[in-house]
Amino acid sequence: MKTAHLSTGRDFPIGKVLCLGRNYAEHIRELGNETPEAPVIFIKPASSIIGEGEAIVIPPYSNDCHHEAELALLIGRRGKDIPADRAMEHIAGYGVGIDLTLRDIQGELKKKGLPWEIAKGFDTACPLSAFVEASRVANPQNLRILLTVNGRKRQDGTTSMMIHRIPAIVSHMSTRFTLEPGDVILTGTPAGVSRIVSGDRVVAEIPGVATLRVSVS
């Protein structure tokens, strides 16, 4: 079982990882995607999670694994059809996650109109930091998101540029899936996604919130 560590000392067994696609305009442009009318949602299984210091294993059926650094929300309270103005009460903590994506496989699946799980949910596809308790993050909608590969900056964005804001994301997702304590939401990636290869050292950081260091085996 995978566990989320919160700065209060409380651990949450992780249920599901709900992910939001296409939530930053520049990232939509860099992939040549259309801006969706409704939020794009997909799920990573808890088995895809790895933690600080662990290694990403790129599956042999892909030759193009991309990093996507994202603000991660840890759900602390159960809810269904949560109104946006109550959504923040359901967030126990904030962290940083990397939504690893097999871009070549995802491209083939997209073309055929097939689900993305094989490209998004493979073992090690979800590196996740520890979480800092929500009360210690003054404004989660104004956080810098950085990602470096071998010390070189690849992503440098801010959560102020999200298309769908955090309360709207939590509210909308809860209309599709009951949110439970230990669920994690990844809120989409800013621009700068690119390929990682064996031997790379990847650091994702949200200054003041979390840092996550992983390698590629």
| Residue of 185, 189, 196, 206 interacting with Zn ion (CB under 5 A) | 189
At 78, which helix (H) or strand (E)? none
Q: Is 159 near Zn ion (CB under 5 A)?
A: no
Cβ–Cβ under 8 Å, residues 192 and 155: yes
Closer residue to Zn ion, CB minimum distance, 91 or 98: 98
Distances (CA, A) of 158 to 57, 74, 91, 95, 172: 28, 19, 19, 14, 21
At 104, which helix (H) or strand (E)? helix 103-112
Q: How far is the CB of 186 from Zn ion (least distance, A)?
A: 6
Q: Is 99 near Zn ion (CB under 5 A)?
A: yes
Q: Is 148 near Zn ion (CB under 5 A)?
A: no
Give the list of residues 6+ apart from residue 29 with CB closer than 8 angstroms, or none: 191
Q: How far is the CB of 146 from Zn ion (least distance, A)?
A: 16
| Residue of 66, 68, 73, 159 interacting with Zn ion (CB under 5 A) | 68
With CB atoms as reference, the residue minimizing the distance to Zn ion is 99
Give the list of residues 6+ apart from residue 41 with CB closer than 8 angstroms, or none: 18, 19, 20, 21, 173, 176
Which span sits near Zn ion by CB under 5 A: 3-11, 109-117, 146-154, 186-194? 186-194
Residues of this chain that interact with Zn ion (CB under 5 A) are 68, 99, 189
